[in-house]
């Protein structure tokens, strides 16, 4: 059966980014993360990056059309199956994704469900390799030696600015206020699967394989 476009929904720290990387490597999807695209614009110092820098630093959402434009410029649905990670973030974006990008192309949403009070600790302990992007958690999945990446041994293990405790609360709050209408939206079109994201990364992965196999 032809694969569907996958839409990963979940709170910051729910593990959807880590799973998106693994699934894309193993199953031939392209991974597109709007958070990564925005951070790339910021590090390039582009006009767009300058405009959104403060918004990311405060844990707020960038406006829907800016993110949609960036996303559209970075994916070509004719040539690839995508995992959309971090988009949509609200019901307006869910509708834009259907109407402006997917335009009838089959898709399946996967919700990484986890109690929000488990996430603060995950997020403040998250570190990312500056060279290869490998994600670690200092408590649950630490690198073998502190400060160096197991995979490439080249980058620095960095904490995202918005993973600092003061901003994490705001990001979780934004998520809590926007998720329910999106779940209803995908559920009402029979495109929603929920996965228990409190399980180990390997267990979440095998459940995802089941979803992808069936979609
Ligand atoms: P993420 O890497 O998905 O956690 O996103 C980091 C930050 O980028 C968010 O806190 C927002 O400021 C911004 N962002 C990412 N995706 C979106 C989106 N779809 N809509 C609006 N803002 C976004």
The pLDDT tens digits of the residues spanning 20-59 come to 999 999 999 999 999 999 999 999 999 999 999 999 999 9
Q: What is the pLDDT of residue 214?
A: 67
Q: Does ligand 1 lie within 6 Å of residue 20's CB atom? A: no
Q: What is the pLDDT of residue 2?
A: 62
Residues 6 or more apart in contact with residue 177 via CB below 8 angstroms: none
| Total residue count of the chain as it appears in this document | 215
Q: What is the pLDDT of residue 83?
A: 97
Mutate to test the pocket of ligand 1, among 42, 51, 56, 88 (most ligand atoms within 8 A of CB): 56
Dist. CA 161 → ligand 1 center (Å): 13
pLDDT at 13 > cutoff 60: yes
pLDDT at 215 > cutoff 90: no
Q: Which atom of ligand 1 is nearest to the CA of 63?
A: 21
d(CA 182, CA 129): 31
Q: What is the pLDDT of residue 1?
A: 43
Reported as a single tens digit per residue, the pLDDT across 51-85 is 999 999 999 999 999 999 999 999 999 889 999 99
Q: Does ligand 1 lie within 6 Å of residue 56's CB atom? A: yes
Mutate to test the pocket of ligand 1, among 42, 43, 55, 62 (most ligand atoms within 8 A of CB): 62
Q: What is the pLDDT of residue 140?
A: 86
Reported as a single tens digit per residue, the pLDDT across 143-166 is 998 889 999 999 999 999 899 998
Instruction: Return phi, psi of residue 129, to 5°.
Output: -70, 125
d(CA 157, CA 148): 6
Residues serving a catalytic function are 16, 89, 126, 160, 171
Helix or strand or coil: residue 61? coil
Torsion of CA 196, 202, 208, 213, to 10 degrees: -150
Q: Does ligand 1 lie within 6 Å of residue 10's CB atom? A: no
pLDDT at 132 > cutoff 70: yes
Q: Which strands, in side-by-side order, build the sheet including 126-129? A: 135-137, 126-129, 157-158
pTM, entire model? 0.91
Q: Does ligand 1 lie within 6 Å of residue 32's CB atom? A: no
Q: Which of 1-5, 84-88, 186-190 has the lowest mean pLDDT?
A: 1-5
Closest CA to 141 of 154, 156, 151: 151
DSSP track, 69-126: HHHHHT--TTT--EEEES---SHHHHHHIIIIIITT--EEEEEEE--GGGHHHHHHTE
- Of the chain, the percentage scoring pLDDT greater than 70 comes to 98
Q: Which atom of ligand 1 is nearest to the CA of 36?
A: 2
Work out the mean pLDDT of the chain and round it to a whole number: 94
d(CA 86, CA 151): 25
User: How many C-beta neighbours within 10 Å does residue 98 have?
Assistant: 19
Q: Terminus-to-terminus CA distance in the chain, angstroms?
A: 8
Dist. CA 172 → ligand 1 center (Å): 12
């Amino acid at each position: 059966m032809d694969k569907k476009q996958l839409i990963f929904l979940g709170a910051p720290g729910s593990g959807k980014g880590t799973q998106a990387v693994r699934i894309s490597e193993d199953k031939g999807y392209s991974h597109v993360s709007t958070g990564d695209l925005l951070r790339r614009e910021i590090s390039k110092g582009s006009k767009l990056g300058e405009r959104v820098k403060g918004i990311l630093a405060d844990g707020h959402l960038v406006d829907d059309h800016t993110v949609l434009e960036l996303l559209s410029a970075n994916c070509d649905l004719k040539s690839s199956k995508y995992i959309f990670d971090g988009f949509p973030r609200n019901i307006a974006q869910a509708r834009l994704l259907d109407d402006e990008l997917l335009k009838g192309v089959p898709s399946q949403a996967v919700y990484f469900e986890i109690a929000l009070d488990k996430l603060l600790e995950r997020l403040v302990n998250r570190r990312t390799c500056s060279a290869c992007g490998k994600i670690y958690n200092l408590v649950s999945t630490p690198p073998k030696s502190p400060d160096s990446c197991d995979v490439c041994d080249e980058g620095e293990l960095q904490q995202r600015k918005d993973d600092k405790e003061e901003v994490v609360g705001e990001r979780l709050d934004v998520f809590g206020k926007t998720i329910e209408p999106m779940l209803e939206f995908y559920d009402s079109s029979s495109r929603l699967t929920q996965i228990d994201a409190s399980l180990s990364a390997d267990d979440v992965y095998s459940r995802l394989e089941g979803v992808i196999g069936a979609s």
